[in-house]
Structure 1
Amino acid sequence: MSDNQQPIVLGKLGASHGIKGWLKITAYTDSVEGIFDYSPWLIKDQGEWREVKVLQWKPQGKAIIAQLDGVTDREQAQMLTNSEIGIMPEQMQELADDEFYWRDLIGCEVVNTKGYNMGKVDQIVETGSNDVLLVKANAKDAFGKAERMIPFVTEQFITAVDLQSKQITVDWDPDF
Structure 2
Amino acid sequence: MSHASDNVVIGKIGAPHGVKGWVKIHSFTQQQDGVFSYQPWVVGERTVEVEQWRVQGNAFVAKLVDVDSREAVDALKNFEIEVAATLLPDLGEDEFYWRDLKGMRVVNLSGYDLGLVQEVFNTGANDVLQVKANPKDAFGQRERLIPFVFDQVINKVDTEEKVITVDWDPGF
CA RMSD in angstroms, aligned pairs only: 2.8
- Structure number with greater Rg is 1
Give the counterpart letter for 1:35 in structure 2.
V
Partner of 2:18: 17
Do the aligned partners of 2:16 and 2:74 also contact (CA within 8 Å) in 1? no
Equivalent residue of 1:5, what SS? Answer: coil
Q: Which stretch shifts more, 90-99 or 157-166? A: 90-99
Confirm whether residue 111 of structure 1 aligns to residue 77 of structure 2: no
Q: What TM-score do the two structures reach when normalised by structure 1?
A: 0.76
Do the aligned partners of 2:105 and 2:117 also contact (CA within 8 Å) in 1? yes
Partner of 1:141: 137
Partner of 2:34: 34
Partner of 1:53: 49
CA–CA distance in structure 2, aligned partners of residues 13 and 128 of structure 1: 19
Do the aligned partners of 1:13 and 1:80 also contact (CA within 8 Å) in 2? no
Give the counterpart letter for 2:169 in structure 1.
D
Once the two structures are TM-superposed, the CA of residue 80 in structure 1 deviates from its matched residue by: 4.1
Gaps of 5+ in 1: none
Paired residue total: 168
Do the aligned partners of 1:4 and 1:89 also contact (CA within 8 Å) in 2? yes
CA–CA distance in structure 2, aligned partners of residues 131 and 138 of structure 1: 22
Do the aligned partners of 2:104 and 2:117 also contact (CA within 8 Å) in 1? yes
Gaps of 5+ in 2: none
Change (3 A) 1:75 1:156: closer
Do the aligned partners of 1:56 and 1:68 also contact (CA within 8 Å) in 2? yes
